[in-house]
Amino acid sequence: MTIPSDPHHPCPCNSSLPYSECHQPVMEAPDEDRLAIGHQEYALRWKSRGFTG
């Protein structure tokens, strides 16, 4: 996955969210925190979408 030079560009995961609101917190997290932060981010996203996406 290529990290955009501008965090406001769309995230390369095709979520249609800006990178800064999608994978940036996960990608920049320390290795030991990445899994927990990833779970948290996805949980929030699923919650906001009503578990449809």
Size of the site for Zn ion (CB under 5 A): 5
3-class SS at 45?
helix
According to the binding rule CB under 5 A, does residue 26 interact with Zn ion? no
Q: How many Å apart are CA 50 and CA 5, to the nearest integer?
A: 31
According to the binding rule CB under 5 A, does residue 23 interact with Zn ion? yes
According to the binding rule CB under 5 A, does residue 22 interact with Zn ion? yes
| The only residue of 3, 9, 10, 13 in contact with Zn ion, by rule CB under 5 A | 13
32 — alpha (psi -120 to 50), left (phi > 0) or beta? alpha
Q: Contact residues for Zn ion (CB under 5 A)?
A: 11, 13, 15, 22-23
